[in-house]
Amino acid sequence: MSRSPDSTDKIREKKKRFLSREERIIKKALSLLVRDGIDKVTVSAIAREAGVGKGTVYKHFLTKTEILMRIVLNYERNITENLRKGIESTEAGDPGAAARSYFQARLSDPALDRLVQQLEVKLQGNEEVEDKMLELHAMRRSNINALNVMIAKLIDKGILEDVPPHYHYLSCWALAQGAVEAYFNVSYGADVEDKEDFLRFVANIGITMGNSGQLRDDIPSQCLINLPKP
Amino acid sequence: MSRSPDSTDKIREKKKRFLSREERIIKKALSLLVRDGIDKVTVSAIAREAGVGKGTVYKHFLTKTEILMRIVLNYERNITENLRKGIESTEAGDPGAAARSYFQARLSDPALDRLVQQLEVKLQGNEEVEDKMLELHAMRRSNINALNVMIAKLIDKGILEDVPPHYHYLSCWALAQGAVEAYFNVSYGADVEDKEDFLRFVANIGITMGNSGQLRDDIPSQCLINLPKP
Amino acid sequence: MSRSPDSTDKIREKKKRFLSREERIIKKALSLLVRDGIDKVTVSAIAREAGVGKGTVYKHFLTKTEILMRIVLNYERNITENLRKGIESTEAGDPGAAARSYFQARLSDPALDRLVQQLEVKLQGNEEVEDKMLELHAMRRSNINALNVMIAKLIDKGILEDVPPHYHYLSCWALAQGAVEAYFNVSYGADVEDKEDFLRFVANIGITMGNSGQLRDDIPSQCLINLPKP
Amino acid sequence: MSRSPDSTDKIREKKKRFLSREERIIKKALSLLVRDGIDKVTVSAIAREAGVGKGTVYKHFLTKTEILMRIVLNYERNITENLRKGIESTEAGDPGAAARSYFQARLSDPALDRLVQQLEVKLQGNEEVEDKMLELHAMRRSNINALNVMIAKLIDKGILEDVPPHYHYLSCWALAQGAVEAYFNVSYGADVEDKEDFLRFVANIGITMGNSGQLRDDIPSQCLINLPKP
DNA sequence: TATGAATGAGGCTTCATTCAT
DNA sequence: AATGAATGAAGCCTCATTCAT
């Protein structure tokens, strides 16, 4: 009753191709969303861009909303991964590492970061993807716990100001969020010729803000995050 | 041949009612937008909420987009006004006044602030309101000019770090922008029991960030902005 | 119980002004219809152009359709009047006079003629103006009767071909109708540099067509209609 | 790697059905337009009549206007084809053939002809179908060129009156145009019991008008066009 | 009496989703 | 399994007509 090894291979192969196609759909959806804006992208366009039929898209995703949600989750996973590495480094004695990692991850592709923020706002409260939303929040809660532990230690050491720990990471989050918006804002962004330099400036604020002052002038130059060119 | 005072009064009365109705439409549109999200609000719903017919809405606004644009402009005018007052105070010797005014204006009604940011993103590049967009940008450019002058002086005095002036106000802008998002973000915001306190914390960062360190510990307590309860 | 002469005068004066305003509304409606096309003219535009309120327009006409119908009737009355004079001249011994009059009346302002044809098509079958439509048809039937009598005589005299009399005037009507369309048709009309000359050519065909041949070469030059420049 | 013949057949079959559905939409639109008048026909009604969803109509046509334009172009193509055949016969020695063909084509289905004329007026100047309009005009210009050549020869032979060639075909066009209107005009048309006979009379005028007299009495009886019953 | 703000039916169009092939 | 034609709900907007002032 068991399939022959040959048949199993075929099935495995098939699944692989199926998943790679799913990747392609997501990737193309992403590029369309960034290029044309959230409101302008249709399922038809995604299918066309991905070189598959509309029906095929619906074999992979139950609804359009699921595609968007997937993008948000993918991104958050990436951020989380980077943040975790940063926290580890902080724990290992480099106080600014977590913030640095975080800013670097988010500001390295501002367009993508911005898109994801917009998507999250759009998906907020959508019952269709409630479960995925819960997954997102769970991921963040987990990060938050790690951050709280880490920050509490830094506060204990007198490195960070003694306010509720979440004030610190929320400020970071807010600054990153806002920096991305500034980067794209037509009124403000247009004035910034060296946008990357600005992002570096902001990132440094993020890394040092809320610390108790004594850290401020101690930031070794290697702490300055090195944002990749987008 | 001239109309009787009575008739003139009536006309004035009529115009007043017309304008007040316009206000009501905007106000109701605003509350719907905040409550249901940008994508969910239809012209029909706005009309229903405002207690007028759909056609009436179109007597006041050429298109739905114009309603949204109006909200954005109204808000920007308010921000500008507050910023101008702050800049005046700064020029009068209170270095943190401009930033304080700005944060207070933006963070006093975070829901509105957030909505307007989203609206601006949505309206970006919409040819229908190109002229209004230009008006918005002109308003901001004017603010930017005033800020550049002000910041240059603060840099000269050694109060602010010597980076391009726009780095300073853009950081402020970004932080405010992000703080608002943090305020509403389900993942992060839910943890903040005293949201106003958090906004105050962020505002203080905004007021002090980028200053050269010597100012930092000098902020008199009365400088702490006192955000009104939303 | 009878009003004073003074009061009667006032009423008469009032009525006169009322009627002159009605004229103005019709006139302005007409110019808008010719300028912008039937589908593009709104009651608002007519009111604005006439310098009165929309409500006032509805004091004069029950519906928009009535305005259009009025234009059609006015025009038909004018045509009828000209045709009657022409018939009289024909009866007085000038065989081509009726056709000449008719063509001259219709082709002297082709734009107006065309508009009215379009209006009539649009109003066809509209129950709202059924009575006015009947009036129009009655007017035409009366013309037709006169024409039938006239043509029968010309056939008797051997001047016109012996076909049912209405064939003759219908051909005239058709040619006029079509000439107007040709005048405005983008494809064909653009080629005609001297449009008036073309209309004259057509009119001459109209005047001579269906005659038995012997008339053809006898048309005195003074028969050639002299179309006024539009 | 190539598809099986079976699959190819299926695709061909599918395309065929797609096109036939397009035909049905056009056909039903046509009958509705003739029956109810241009202004009364909605896309919804067309879809309902064609037995498809509204969305399906928009799979075949970009806008409602395109449906109308298609009808106009289809018709013009048919007319052109007939005219071309007629011109060929004229060149082959039958002077009246072109006019005869033309009248026959246009008067064989007066209702359709009339609808198309109305549509063309309505579509005039509509930017949405500018390109299609240009196509229409190009088709006509080509016809006009052929006619000019043909008519010039007939004038040379003394068969037609020596006026600018376009006077001749424009008169034909105008007469056909008008005859169709006469056919349907309630006032005049109602009197014509044998409408087809009238159309034949008009067609004969069209075929002979503008000729130099000597042709007039020579028209052999077989020249009389034989209009098919609509 | 004149006005024009208010109305809402009704038209056009889009696009997420379904399903027969 | 893949496709894309078909669908129709839902949104935006227009404009003839009404009616309170």
Q: Are residues A99 and A19 in the same domain?
A: no
- Best residue of B181, B194, B200, B224 to probe chain A, by most A CBs closer than 10 Å: B181
Under 8 Å between Cβ of D23 and D41: no
Q: What is the pLDDT of residue D191?
A: 54
Helix (H, G, I), strand (E, B) or coil at B211: strand
- What confidence tens digit (pLDDT) does each residue in A169-211 have? 888 888 888 888 888 887 776 555 667 777 777 777 776 665 5
Indicate whether B229 belongs to any domain.
no
Q: Are residues A57 and A67 in the same domain?
A: no
Give the residue among D35, D183, D155, D139 at the shortest CA–CA distance from D90: D155
Q: Which residue has the higher pLDDT, C80 or A223?
A: C80
Q: Which of the 8 DSSP states describes residue B41?
A: -
Using CA atoms, how far apart are residues A30 and B50, in angstroms rounded to an integer? Answer: 38
Q: Give the pLDDT band (50/70/90) at residue B135.
A: very high
Q: Are residues D69 and D180 in the same domain?
A: yes
Q: How high does pLDDT run on average in chain C?
A: 82
Helices (H), chain A: 5-36, 43-50, 54-60, 64-91, 97-107, 110-123, 130-156, 165-184, 186-189, 195-208
Q: Provide the shortest C-alpha distance from residue C136 to chain D (in Å).
A: 8
The mean per-residue pLDDT over the stretch D81-87 comes to 92
Q: Is the model's pLDDT at B204 over the cut of 70?
A: yes
Using CA atoms, how far apart are residues B1 and B5, in angstroms rounded to an integer? Answer: 12
Residue lying closest to nucleotide E19, CA to C1' = A55
Q: Which residue has the higher pLDDT, B112 or A12?
A: B112
Give me the torsion for CA of C54, C58, C64, C68, rounded to 10°: -110
Give the residue among A218, A140, A125 at the shortest CA–CA distance from A173: A140
Q: Are residues C166 and C73 in the same domain?
A: yes
Contacts of B191 in chain A (CB under 8 A): 144, 166
Q: What is the pLDDT of residue B192?
A: 52
Q: Is the model's pLDDT at C225 over the cut of 80?
A: no
Return the half-sphere exposure (C-beta side, CA atoms, 13 A cut-off) of residue A132: 23
Question: How many domains would you assign to chain D?
Answer: 2
Nucleotide nearest to D17 (CA to C1'): F5
Contact C/D (≥3 CB pairs under 8 Å): yes
Q: Are residues C118 and C130 in the same domain?
A: yes
C33 Cβ contact partners less than 8 Å away, ≥ 6 residues apart: C41, C68, C71, C115, C119
Tell me how far CA of residue C29 lies from CA of A123, D38, D126, in angstroms.
52, 22, 22
**Does the distance separating the beta carbons of C171 and D175 come in below 8 Å?**
yes
Nucleotides of F under 7 A from a protein CB: 1-21
The mean per-residue pLDDT over the stretch A125-144 comes to 91
Q: Are residues A117 and A195 in the same domain?
A: yes
**Does the distance separating the beta carbons of B178 and A179 come in below 8 Å?**
yes
Instruction: Read off the tokens for B82.
Output: 């507050």
Distance of C1' in E10 from CA in D126, Å: 22
- Supply the CATH number for residue B45's domain: 1.10.10.60
Under 8 Å between Cβ of C230 and C111: yes
Q: Give the pLDDT band (50/70/90) at residue A55.
A: very high
Q: Give the pLDDT band (50/70/90) at residue D174.
A: confident
Is residue A214 packed enough to be buried (19+ CB in 10 Å), middle (13-18) or exposed (0-12)?
exposed
Q: What is the pLDDT of residue B2?
A: 44
Using CA atoms, how far apart are residues A186 and A59, in angstroms rounded to an integer? Answer: 39
- What confidence tens digit (pLDDT) does each residue in C102-136 have? 888 888 888 999 999 999 999 988 888 999 999 99
The mean per-residue pLDDT over the stretch A205-222 comes to 50
How many beta-carbon contacts under 8 Å exist across A and B? 127
Q: Worst-scoring range by mean pLDDT, B179-183, C31-35, C202-206?
A: C202-206
Instruction: Read off the tokens for D38.
Output: 């241009």
D79 to chain C, any CB pair closer than 8 A? The answer is no
- What confidence tens digit (pLDDT) does each residue in D2-29 have? 445 566 777 778 888 888 999 999 999 9
Q: Are residues D49 and D75 in the same domain?
A: no
Share of chain A above pLDDT 70, in %: 84
Q: What is the pLDDT of residue B225?
A: 36
Helix (H, G, I), strand (E, B) or coil at A221: helix
Q: Are residues D27 and D69 in the same domain?
A: no
Q: Which residue has the higher pLDDT, B8 or C109?
A: C109
Chains touching chain B through at least 3 C-beta pairs below 8 angstroms are A
Q: Give the pLDDT band (50/70/90) at residue D44.
A: very high
Q: What is the pLDDT of residue C94?
A: 85
Tell me how far CA of residue D204 lies from CA of A137, C6, D158, D216, D220, in angstroms.
85, 66, 19, 10, 12
Nucleotide nearest to B56 (CA to C1'): E6
Q: Which residue has the tokens 């997102």?
A: A136
Indicate whether B224 belongs to any domain.
no
Q: What is the pLDDT of residue C175?
A: 82
Instruction: Read off the tokens for C229.
Output: 């420049």
**Does the distance separating the beta carbons of C124 and D188 come in below 8 Å?**
no
The Cβ of residue B110 has, within 10 Å, a number of other Cβ atoms equal to 22
The mean per-residue pLDDT over the stretch C74-98 comes to 90
Q: Provide the shortest C-alpha distance from residue C203 to chain D (in Å).
A: 10
Q: Which residue has the tokens 């007629």?
A: D86
Give the residue among D175, D178, D222 at the shortest CA–CA distance from D203: D175
Using CA atoms, how far apart are residues C58 and C62, in angstroms rounded to an integer? Answer: 6
Q: Give the pLDDT band (50/70/90) at residue B191.
A: low
**Does the distance separating the beta carbons of C187 and D141 come in below 8 Å?**
yes
Q: Is the model's pLDDT at C20 over the cut of 80?
A: yes
Q: Which residue has the higher pLDDT, B7 or D213?
A: B7
Three-state secondary structure string covering B152-179: HHHHHCCCECCCCHHHHHHHHHHHHHHH
Is residue B221 packed enough to be buried (19+ CB in 10 Å), middle (13-18) or exposed (0-12)?
exposed
Give the residue among A121, A94, A122 at the shortest CA–CA distance from A225: A94
Q: What is the pLDDT of residue D210?
A: 59
Using CA atoms, how far apart are residues B82 and A147, in angstroms rounded to an integer? Answer: 36
Q: Which residue has the higher pLDDT, D32 or A148?
A: D32
Indicate whether C5 belongs to any domain.
no
Helices (H), chain B: 5-36, 43-50, 54-60, 64-91, 97-107, 110-123, 130-156, 165-184, 186-189, 195-208
- Which residues form the domain of C47? 11-61
Q: Chain C window 32-71: which residues touch D at a Cβ cutoff of 8 Å? A: 37, 39
Q: Give the pLDDT band (50/70/90) at residue B131.
A: very high
A168 Cβ contact partners less than 8 Å away, ≥ 6 residues apart: A147, A151, A160, A161, A210
Give me the torsion for CA of C40, C44, C46, C50, rounded to 10°: -150
Tell me how far CA of residue D191 lies from CA of C136, D115, D175, in angstroms.
15, 22, 19
> What is the enclosing helix (H) or strand (E) of B158?
none
Q: Is the model's pLDDT at B9 over the cut of 90?
A: no
Give the residue among D168, D25, D166, D184 at the shortest CA–CA distance from D118: D184
Q: What is the pLDDT of residue C67?
A: 97
Under 8 Å between Cβ of A139 and A80: yes
Using CA atoms, how far apart are residues D210 and D172, in angstroms rounded to an integer? Answer: 10
Q: Is the model's pLDDT at A224 over the cut of 70?
A: no
Distance of C1' in F11 from CA in B44, Å: 9
Using CA atoms, how far apart are residues D98 and D207, in angstroms rounded to an integer? Answer: 8
Q: What is the pLDDT of residue D224?
A: 34
Q: Worst-scoring range by mean pLDDT, A71-85, A203-217, D87-101?
A: A203-217
Indicate whether B230 belongs to any domain.
no
Q: Which of A43, A61, A79 is the last residue of a domain?
A: A61
Instruction: Read off the tokens for A89.
Output: 């480094």
Chain D residue closest in CA terms to C189 = D170
Q: Give the pLDDT band (50/70/90) at residue C193.
A: low
Q: What is the pLDDT of residue D208?
A: 67
Q: Give the pLDDT band (50/70/90) at residue B112.
A: very high
Q: What is the pLDDT of residue D30?
A: 96
Distance of C1' in E13 from CA in D128, Å: 14
Indicate whether D3 belongs to any domain.
no
- What confidence tens digit (pLDDT) does each residue in B155-181 have? 888 888 788 888 888 888 888 888 888
Indicate whether C72 belongs to any domain.
yes
Give the residue among A79, A73, A171 at the shortest CA–CA distance from A120: A73
Q: Is the model's pLDDT at A218 over the cut of 70?
A: no
Instruction: Read off the tokens for D111.
Output: 């209702």
Instruction: Read off the tokens for D216.
Output: 């007039």
Under 8 Å between Cβ of B25 and B46: yes
Q: Is the model's pLDDT at D187 over the cut of 80?
A: no
Helix (H, G, I), strand (E, B) or coil at C211: strand
Using CA atoms, how far apart are residues D129 and A57, in angstroms rounded to an integer? Answer: 34
- Which amino acid type is present at position B61? F
Q: Worst-scoring range by mean pLDDT, B143-152, C172-181, D73-82?
A: C172-181
Q: Are residues C41 and C116 in the same domain?
A: no
Q: Give the pLDDT band (50/70/90) at residue B229.
A: very low
Q: What is the pLDDT of residue A199?
A: 78
- Supply the CATH number for residue C188's domain: 1.10.357.10
Q: Is the model's pLDDT at D51 over the cut of 50?
A: yes
The mean per-residue pLDDT over the stretch C62-89 comes to 94
Q: What is the pLDDT of residue D6?
A: 60
Q: Worst-scoring range by mean pLDDT, A1-15, C37-51, D132-146?
A: A1-15
D18 to chain C, any CB pair closer than 8 A? The answer is no
Q: Are residues B72 and B57 in the same domain?
A: no
Using CA atoms, how far apart are residues D201 and D180, in angstroms rounded to an integer? Answer: 13
Q: Are residues D83 and D172 in the same domain?
A: yes
Q: Is the CB of B64 under 7 A from strand F?
A: yes
Instruction: Read off the tokens for B66.
Output: 């114009």
A163 to chain B, any CB pair closer than 8 A? The answer is yes
Contacts of A41 in chain B (CB under 8 A): none
Q: How high does pLDDT run on average in chain D?
A: 82
Q: Measure the N-to-C terminal CA separation of chain C; round to a whole number of Å.
A: 53
Q: What is the pLDDT of residue C203?
A: 75
The mean per-residue pLDDT over the stretch C7-17 comes to 82
Give the residue among B117, D186, B182 at the shortest CA–CA distance from C123: D186
Residue lying closest to nucleotide F7, CA to C1' = D53
C91 Cβ contact partners less than 8 Å away, ≥ 6 residues apart: C150, C153
- Which amino acid type is present at position C44? S
Q: Chain D window 101-130: which residues touch C at a Cβ cutoff of 8 Å? A: 117-118, 120-122, 124-125
Tell me how far CA of residue C41 lies from CA of A122, C30, C35, C209, in angstroms.
42, 10, 9, 38
The Cβ of residue D162 has, within 10 Å, a number of other Cβ atoms equal to 10
Indicate whether C223 belongs to any domain.
no
Indicate whether D89 belongs to any domain.
yes
Buried b / exposed e over D120-152, threshold 16 CB at 10 Å, is: bbbbeeeeebeebbeebbebbeebbebbbebbe
Q: Are residues D143 and D181 in the same domain?
A: yes
Instruction: Read off the tokens for B15.
Output: 């115009």
